[in-house]
Amino acid sequence: MASKRFSVFHTPPLDRILENHSSDSPTARISSVCERYELICASEMNEAGKLDTFERSVIANALSGSVVDPALIRHLDHEIEDMRYDIDDETDPRIRRLAERIRLMSMAQRVALIESLGF
């Protein structure tokens, strides 16, 4: 595999990861975290696979144009509930059910869900 070099900007989460494993090279540590992230997403994809077209559309609309940061992931259920105002029928029970499903998801499941939609 050809070597691909790129710049990595230090952010507080990255600094914490690198500080806690100072014996590893930064590249080795970042690679390790990425491998674990892939494992989590792959193991949590079951919930994402259970979404129907309408649910995928609602979540995609909620995330579209947003910065998907930890706060958005934590409060994704609220974002989904707010989507009822963006569709023609504010009483559609499917949105409430979707928000409840997301409320019951772990953070890992929410991240896997967001990743499965390409955000």
Higher confidence at residue 50 or residue 3? Answer: 50
Instruction: Quote the pTM value.
Output: 0.78
In sequence order, the 6+-apart residues with CB closer than 8 A to the CB of 69 are none
Sketch the domain layout of the chain as residue ranges.
13-119
What's the CA gap between 1 and 106, in Å, rounded? 35
Q: What is the DSSP string of 34-86?
A: HHHHHHHHHHHHHHHHT--HHHHHHHHHHHTTS---HHHHHTHHHHHHHGGGT
- Output helix, strand, coil percentages for the chain, rounded to the nearest 5: 65, 0, 35
Q: Is the pLDDT of residue 110 over 70?
A: yes
How far apart, in Å, do the first and last CA atoms of the chain sit?
A: 27
Count of Cβ atoms closer than 10 Å to residue 24 Cβ:
14
Q: Could you report the per-residue pLDDT of 18-45, keeping only the tens digit for each?
A: 887 777 788 888 889 899 988 888 877 7
Question: Please, what is the average pLDDT of the chain?
Answer: 86
